[in-house]
Structure 1
Amino acid sequence: MPPIYPSTALKNQQREIKQLADTQIVYITENGRGKYVFMSENVLQKQIDSAVENALYEARMAEALRESREDFAQGRFYSSRADLLAAVERKRAQHD
């Protein structure tokens, strides 16, 4: 469960909130509702890096799916595992 503090805690519990913010996102509420997030620059950079990595992964997966649909439409597919393994062996032999 992520740490959640009322905005008044920023005054009364600064040290505790800063320590938590060094390793994770701390949520700050006002009038019982989510209002702010507090984190160190390192945590922010990790969040950004993770978002970029996830976006790149999604883009690669979408491209792979598009290519596989195109391959299938063009008749480039294998009907059995044996056919696939034979094609892999042929391709390896071409590179040797």
Structure 2
Amino acid sequence: MAAIYSSAALKTRQREIKDEAMKQVVHITENGNAAFVFCSEEVFENELRRARETAAYEERMRAVLERGRADVIAGNTVEGTDAALAEIARRAACRA
């Protein structure tokens, strides 16, 4: 669950907020509205790494879907399980 503290808590609960920020991103609110985020360097680096990995994965999926759509438009398709397995075997034999 996300850690959320008011800006007033920064004065009275510093140690608790810092301890939580060592584990995850802490959200700081002002007047009940999201205002700031706070975290340790390690958490920040992990969040950046995760964001990069997610972006790379999404780009790979986008490229695969785009290639698939182009194949369908070009008629590069097979129908049925037997035809698909035969095409896989043919392509594997070409690589060997």
Same fold judged by TM-score > 0.5? Answer: yes
Alpha-carbon distance in 2 for matches of 1:94, 1:30: 63
The structural deviation recorded for 1:94 is 2.5
**3-state secondary structure, aligned to 1:27:** strand
Q: How many residues align?
A: 96
Q: Which amino acid aligns with 1:47?
A: E
How far does the alpha carbon of each residue in 1:24-48 deviate from its partner, in whole angstroms, 9 at most, with x for none? 0111111222211110111111111
Runs of 5+ unmatched residues, structure 1: none
Q: State the match for 2:87 in structure 1.
A: 87
Alpha-carbon distance in 2 for matches of 1:91, 1:2: 48
Q: State the match for 1:64 in structure 2.
A: 64
Q: Which amino acid aligns with 2:42?
A: N
Normalised by the length of structure 1, the TM-score is 0.90
Kindly indicate whether residue 41 of structure 2 is the aligned counterpart of residue 53 of structure 1: no
Q: Which amino acid aligns with 1:44?
A: F
Question: Structure 1 vs Structure 2: percent identity of aligned residues?
Answer: 42
Alpha-carbon distance in 2 for matches of 1:70, 1:31: 51
RMSD between aligned alpha carbons?
1.3
Q: State the match for 1:38 in structure 2.
A: 38
The structural deviation recorded for 1:8 is 1.8
The structural deviation recorded for 1:51 is 1.3
How far does the alpha carbon of each residue in 1:49-75 deviate from its partner, in whole angstroms, 9 at most, with x for none? 111111111111111111111111111
Normalised by the length of structure 2, the TM-score is 0.90
The structural deviation recorded for 1:3 is 1.5
Alpha-carbon distance in 1 for matches of 2:8, 2:66: 51
Q: Which amino acid aligns with 1:79?
A: E
Runs of 5+ unmatched residues, structure 2: none
